[in-house]
Amino acid sequence: MVENLRLAFSLFFAGNNFLKNFMLKCVFPILLFFLCASLFAQVKKVVPPKSVIPYSESLQAVVVTTKDWSAVQGEAQMFERANDKSKWKAVGKSFPVAVGKNGMAWSDGLNELPSDTGRLLLKTEGDGKSPAGIFGLSSAFGTIEKSDKINLPYAKLEQWTECVDDVKSSHYNKIVNRMQVGNFDWKSSEKMLEIKPQYDLGVFVEHNAERQAGGGSCIFLHIWKDVNTATAGCTAMAREDMETILYRLDAKKNPVLIQLPLEDYKKFQTTWKLPKLK
């Protein structure tokens, strides 16, 4: 490719030696630099899979329950335990949340799916449902600067921060910076800085952690519009409750979200060793 470019320059400026020498010595190296930079920027890097920490090793849990599978209002309570052999203890008071506009649907998280869970009962992209199950709470984001109060990996939202919901993209279900990611291969995404005040503070929920196409994407804990406004699939709450949760979560304690309709929570409470509700 390099020799072809050099030959093309030589032939094009064959009648003007000064201009030819100028192009070959000055312009050609600059064009070559940008060409190489562009090519290398588009190379897909192999990202090693995240190590999955089982729920049994978690020492923090945000528990969300709703009245039934179609309910959009629910209640949340935070729990902690001293070690993986200790009993879960409630931390603080419970508070209201809003979930997906179409309720909940099962998702393949850290829990085993019930044997009677068919494909039609699983969460899919764009279904307006929040994921039901147990999920890691891996990282946080927001519009504020990271402070010592935040003990999760944190990303400050910028103009080009997007969460990719294009099922055909190699970055599906990932938060990326459009100007830094290199392989820009999506047609649909959430421009996160524009979603205010909901994304002023948030926590990434490890739903569809394997990023299966169509399995659902961009699920967060975040600030709500109000108690009566459901989400597209996230779990939303008042700003003060979001702040309390965010500043309490600690990556060293492997925090999780446990989210189920109340009847199913009680059904799996013993076998999954879930925190005891009041």
Reported confidence tier of residue 3, pLDDT bands at 50, 70, 90: low
Point out which residues pair with 3 in neighbouring strands.
none
Cβ-proximal residues to 88 (8 Å cutoff; 6+ apart), any chain: 61, 79, 80, 81, 274, 275, 276
Asked whether residue 193 carries a pLDDT value surpassing 70, the answer given is: yes
User: Does residue 119 or residue 51 have the better pLDDT?
Assistant: 51
Q: What was the pLDDT predicted at 250? A: 98
The pLDDT tens digits of the residues spanning 229-275 come to 999 999 999 999 999 999 999 999 999 999 999 999 999 999 999 99
Asked whether residue 47 carries a pLDDT value surpassing 50, the answer given is: no
Greatest mean pLDDT among 13-27, 46-60, 115-129 lies in 115-129
Asked whether residue 201 carries a pLDDT value surpassing 50, the answer given is: yes
Reported confidence tier of residue 114, pLDDT bands at 50, 70, 90: confident
Reported confidence tier of residue 121, pLDDT bands at 50, 70, 90: confident
* pTM (2 d.p.): 0.82
User: Does residue 75 or residue 180 have the better pLDDT?
Assistant: 75
Q: What is the mean pLDDT of residues 167-183?
A: 92
Contact of 72 with 95, CB cutoff 8 Å: no
Cis peptide before 29 (omega within 30 of 0): no
Asked whether residue 9 carries a pLDDT value surpassing 60, the answer given is: no
